[in-house]
Structures are given as structure tokens and as C-alpha cells.
Amino acid sequence: MSKQLKGDNVVEVYDTTLRDGTQGEGIWLSCDDKLRIAKRLDQLGVTYIEGGWPGSNPKDVEFFEKARDMEWEHALIAAFGSTRRKDTAPEDDGNIQALIQSQAPVCTVFGKTWTLHVTDVLRTTLEENLRMIEDSVAYLIGQGRKVVYDAEHFFDGYKADPDYALETLAAAVRGGVDLLVLCDTNGGSMPWEIQEITRTVGSKVNARLGIHAHNDGGCGVANSIAAVKEGAMHVQGTSNGYGERCGNANLCVVIPDLELKLGKRCLPEGNLRQMYDFSHFVAEVINVSPNEREAYVGRSAFAHKGGVHVAALRRNIDSYQHVDPELVGNEMRVVVSELSGRGNLMSKAEDFGLDVENQEDVAGVLKDIKDLESRGFSFEAAEASVALMLKRADESYVAPFELVDYTTYVEHRQGRGMVTEATVKVRVNGNVFHTAAEGNGPVNALDNAFRKALTETYPEMAQFHLVDYKVRILDSESATGALTRVLIDTQSEFERWSTVGASTNIIEASWQALADSFEYGLLRYAEELAPQATKVNA
């Protein structure tokens, strides 16, 4: 039996990612994907998980077959469907019977509220539509199901004919339902309209109210909050706001807003701290890039770039943050760029465990960063390069290697096709290593030759794996002579880091990023191994 939150201050969370979310363009989930997300939603502690529409496709039928044999700690599984067809009894309606056959404990049915849909889409009478609603709800409740009634297009329907819209709700109540969800299906209502209409409905119907908002006007979250302010105690939406057209209300924003701003309870105690990881987990399963500028759960939600802002934050952490990022499992980040002040670099030095006492060194690095960014570098996503600049500002710093020279060439050889080779000469501890290697392109050949030159002294080089290589053309009007920026991401057993290079020569830009990547990796490897060596020697 699932553990449901109780109390007057609780707002039920109904997640419809597995049905409404998959209606978003470019989003597809296998049955196993849906089950993975459902289990993660249950761990988060939502009240309802809508698994799909069992009357619409075999995959949703499979989901409910598998879900019924699984243990659910917090959530109730809901099956979605429509009211019965016109002039058809519920027991003879395939859609209604599919809901029953799903064996889901909760059945969510939607009915028509807007007269336009009744006459033009269903092509039936207003009276028959009311009977369809009442009959469907009563039948499902009679079959032992908990019923959630979704009043589709409610706000548009209310604006067109408020009396009839209210009659449709009354029909659902006569059928025995105790939860009426007011749907802004076209997503075009404004928050003040949602507030006024929800307030009016609350004074006229004897049932609990919920809200189901879409985001076509950019107000999905705001409209959900507005409805709760007027008494709605049930909120529907999707993880990360996925959904048809512009998406649904984003529960990864709605839930923190309700808990942190309105003092409502949506999740079990402490589970709000899962929100950042949960959001990124769902994005990974769906195979879409996370929106890193999303409120609360985006990586940039608490990232600070302006020098004035960072200086203030170093004096008082609340000066430029509306909540503590740890409350949603996120973290504050300081970004370094041409807009930075000394505080940005001091914060970054602290992040990397660097003891930078000389303010003149910091000022010099800051000047270098501003100069380099004016020439095409970007250090926002290349924090390892920033750490190296701070390290190099210390006169006592000794780099693990020194470049002497390198060459690359590409040629077409008869019988072999394209051949690329690079040679690298580096100085390590006074010794010069001169190596050559082939590759599938000039950067790959340079990478291979560089590794060969360093591996004899630093066998840990084998632990450094290039996991991403990004090239950006900065002035496309210069065509093949354009300024080019290269970002390289590298992974070791300890961490992942990013470095940058920029030049009108893509090989030089790549070399700069590659050299920084290896230098930073060797330094970090030494730092991680030093405590282990001390422990062994002791």
C-alpha cells in the first residue's frame, strides 16, 4: 500500500510525463523506459503516476501489466482515458473497458467542457455530453476504481459558456467523483483568469479541485501556482515540462515553488533535495539535453558570472540567490569570463583548492582572461584552463612538461587513401622526447603523438580519455580564415574537466586545449595520489 501524504496543507502531485510528456515532439519512450521513470517518480514521492492510455496502444497495455506486479512505495498508478462514446453504455465502450482491464487503482477520465468541442468535435448534444460524463464516472467508481475527472478545455469552455461548463462539473459530481481537475488544455489562459475562475468554481461545486496547465502562453507554472492560491489541492504536470506543442506545467519548478514559496507539502520530508538529480535522470532516459537554464534544476540556475554579483555573494550568500540551491539538490557556481571581477577568480581558486594570497597575481590573471576572451577564448565552460592560469601565476610553479615544437601533415597516398601524421617534441624533467604517430585526422594524430611523448614519464596518461571535442566558428564571415574556438572535455578515474583554445588555425586552437587538458590531468592525478602515497608510507 502506497504511503500518501495527508493534511490540509498537502498538494497532490500528479505526474503525466509517461502519457502527456510523450506527446512532445521528438520524445519517445520504450515500456522499460517508462517503468524506470515511474520507479524514480515513486522514489521522489509523487502522489500519482499516470502510466498512459491503455485503450490507445499495446505499449501502454504492457506498462500496466508490468506495473501491477511492482511495489510502489508512495505513488498510485493511474490509467488515462476518455468518457464513453455517445449513445454507448460504459460496459459496451472499448475505452472504458480498457481502463478496467488495466487494473490500475486510479482511472483518470477526461470529458468535454467547451460547447465548441461538444457540438463540433464529438458532434453530439449538450445533454448527451452531460450523460456521458456522469455515466462514465459512476461506472468506474462502481467497479471499485478511484476516479480523477479531467475537465478538458475547462477555462476556454468557461469563458465561452460558464453555466454549461459548471454543469459538466456537476455531472461528474453526480457520478460520484470527489476530484475535479480544471484543464487549460490550449495553454492560453493568463494567471489572473485562472485565479478568478478557480475561485468562482470553488464557491459553486462540492468537490476538491485540481489544475492541469499547458505552457502555450509561457504561463504553465504560473497558472498552476495561481490555481493553488485559490484552493486547488492537486497539480498535474510533467517532469521538465515535456509535452505537446510548448509542453505542460513543469513539475520540477512547480513543486519547489509550492514547497519553498507557498509552504505547501508536495513530497515526503527531505525529498525536495532529489529534484536536481531527478530532473537530469529523466532527461537522460528520454535522451534529450537538459535545459540548464531552467529554474531550480538547471545547472545555470545558481551560476553567477557578473563581478559585482560575485563580490556581493562573497560577503553575503543570500545577496543574489532567491533560495539555497542545496534545498533542491543543486549548487552555487561561479563562472569566470571577461565580465568577472577578482571575486570570481578567488571563488574559483577556492573551488580548486588553490591558496592564492597574492592579489596582484589574481589581478594579472584576470587581465589575461579579459584579453584572451577578446581574442576568442571563452572560460565559462573551461574551468580547468582557469585553474592552470592561477597555478602559473605562482612563480614557484613548475609545469610537468614543456612544448618544444610539433608538426602535423595530411596527404593522400596511392593505395592507402588519406594519411595523417604528427610529430611532437616535449621536454620533461630536462629530457627531450621526440615522437611521431598517425591518426584519423590532424588533431587525433597530434593527440596520439603527444601521449606517446609523455607516457614513459607519466604512465597515468593512459587514464585520461578525451570524451568530447567541440569546435565553434566565431566569425563565419571570414570563411576558412575564421577565428575558431576549441573546447575539450577529458575524463579520468577521479573527475571530468574542460579546457579551451582559440586561434585562426584550428590545429593551434586544438593544441592549446589539448596541452591544458594533459597538464591539468597530470596535476590532479598527482594531487589525488599524494594522500594515498603518504598513507602507504606511514
Go through the domains of the chain in sequence order and give each one's CATH number: 12-268 (3.20.20.70), 303-392 (no CATH), 401-457 (3.30.160.740)
N residues, the chain: 538
* The pLDDT value given to residue 414: 76
Helix (H, G, I), strand (E, B) or coil at 126: helix
The pLDDT of residue 533: 38
pLDDT at residue number 351: 60
Check residue 534 and give its pLDDT: 37
Residues linked to residue 438 through DSSP beta bridges, in sequence order: 421
Distance CA 34, CA 67 (A): 10
Cell of 239: 517532469
pLDDT at 382: 67
DSSP 291: -
Strand segments, DSSP code E, in 319-368 are 333-334
pLDDT of residue 424: 92
- How many Cα atoms occupy the beta-carbon half-sphere of 522 within 13 Å? 19
| DSSP β-bridge partners for residue 498 | 489
Q: Which three-class secondary structure state does DSSP give residue 108?
A: strand
Question: Is the Cα dihedral 384, 389, 390, 394 positive or negative?
Answer: positive
Low-confidence ranges of the chain (pLDDT < 70): 1-2, 304-315, 317, 319, 333-382, 476, 480, 529-538
